[in-house]
Amino acid sequence: MRGVVPPTPQYAWPKLKARAGCTVWVKHENHTPTGAFKVRGGLVYLDRLHRAQPKIPGVISATRGNHGQSIAFAAGRTGIPATIYVPRNNSRDQNSAIAAFGAQVVEFGKDFDEAKHEAFRVAAAEGLHFVPSFHPDLVTGVATYALELFRAVAALDAVYVGVGMGSGISGLIAVRDLLGLKTDIIGVGAAGAPATALSFAARRATNAPSARTFADGLATREPNAEAVDNICRGAARIVEVSEDEIAEAMRIYYDDTHQVAEGAGAAPLAALLQERGRMSGKNVAVVLSGGNIERARFLQVLGGATPAVD
C-alpha cells in the first residue's frame, strides 16, 4: 500500500468545530491517487488475485465510479485487462477517469444494481473474474485508512462514515475492535437510498425499492449480507440524511476547509451536523471518502441548489 498510497491526512478544522460544537477531525480520503478511499481496496484485491492466478484473462466489475476507478487503477498496475460496467446515467467524469486508467467502460441499465447483474452475467459467459463491491480483501485494503486515523487521533468518541456497499464502515469496525477501542462507529445513508437503514432496523440484508440520491457512493438498492452483519454487530446506529443536507455539507466543506467533497464524501458531515446536540463537546471524526464530482454539478451545489435525481 505504502508504495502507491501515502497516508492521507486528518485535520481538525476550527470552523467545523464552531459549526458542530465539537472537535471535528476530517479524514481526507479525497487525497488518494484516485480521489477516493476505494483505491486501497482495489490494490489489495488485485494484488492477491494476481498472486493466486497470474494468468487470469481479465476482471470485470460494476460501479457508480470510485470502485471502478479503484479496480481500473489496480488492474493497470498488475497488467490485468479490466472491464467496468456503469449505469447509463453515470457521471461522464467518472467514466472518463475509469477509462483513463486503462479499463473498458460499458454502460448498461438504469442503476448500479442492474449494471452489477449484467457484469456478473458477462463474467460467467466469458470466463472473466467478477470483482464484487464487497469482499474481505477490499475491506482489508480500505481498513488501512481506519488504522491511520485511529493511530493519529487518540480517544475518538465517534466516527461518522458513509455506507454504500459497506467496505468502508466494515474496515473501521474491524480496526476499532482489533485495537480494543470504544469509539462509536456511525453509518450514514441517504434518505432516498434506504437499504442500509432498512437492513440495520431489520438486522438482516433488506433490499430497498429505490436508490434515489445524487450521492453516487450511497446509491444501492441491494445491500451485501456480510456487510450488513458487520454493521449490525459493530455500528452504533445509522443516520439518514436528506439531499438538501448533503448539498449543504458540500458547501460547508468548501467554505470552511476549501475542500471539494462529492455527495457521499460530504454525507458524514451532514449527519454530524444533524446530530450536533448529541455530539456537543466530543472528539469526533468524519470520513471525507472522496472528492470526485462533476464540475457542473459542483457549481450547481455551490450556487445554493440541490442536484435533481434522474
3-state SS, residue 24? strand
Q: How many residues would you count in the chain?
A: 310
On the question of pLDDT at 42 being above 90, the answer is yes
Q: Averaged over 239-249, what is the pLDDT?
A: 98
Q: Averaged over 63-73, what is the pLDDT?
A: 95
On the question of pLDDT at 157 being above 80, the answer is yes
Phi, psi of 130 (to 5 degrees): -85, 125
Question: Looking at residue 1, what is its pLDDT?
Answer: 86
Phi, psi of 64 (to 5 degrees): -100, -10
Give 122-140 pLDDT, tens digit per residue: 999 999 999 999 999 999 9
Question: Looking at residue 134, what is its pLDDT?
Answer: 96
3-state SS, residue 292? coil
Question: Looking at residue 122, what is its pLDDT?
Answer: 97
Query: CA angle 288-11-170, nearest 5°?
Result: 40
On the question of pLDDT at 310 being above 80, the answer is no
Q: Averaged over 159-167, what is the pLDDT?
A: 97
Strand locations in 174-215 (E): 184-190
**pTM greater than 0.75:** yes
Query: CA angle 281-161-95, nearest 5°?
Result: 145
Question: Looking at residue 89, what is its pLDDT?
Answer: 86
d(CA 56, CA 99): 20
Question: Looking at residue 185, what is its pLDDT?
Answer: 98
Question: Looking at residue 280, what is its pLDDT?
Answer: 98
Helices 38-52, 66-78: inter-axial angle, 10-degree rounding: 40
Structural domains of the chain sorted by starting position, each given as residue range(s) with its CATH number in brackets: 10-36+136-302 (3.40.50.1100), 38-130 (3.40.50.1100)
| Mean confidence (pLDDT) of the chain | 97
Give 206-237 pLDDT, tens digit per residue: 999 989 999 999 999 999 999 999 999 999 99
Strands 10-12 and 283-288, bridge-based pairing: unpaired
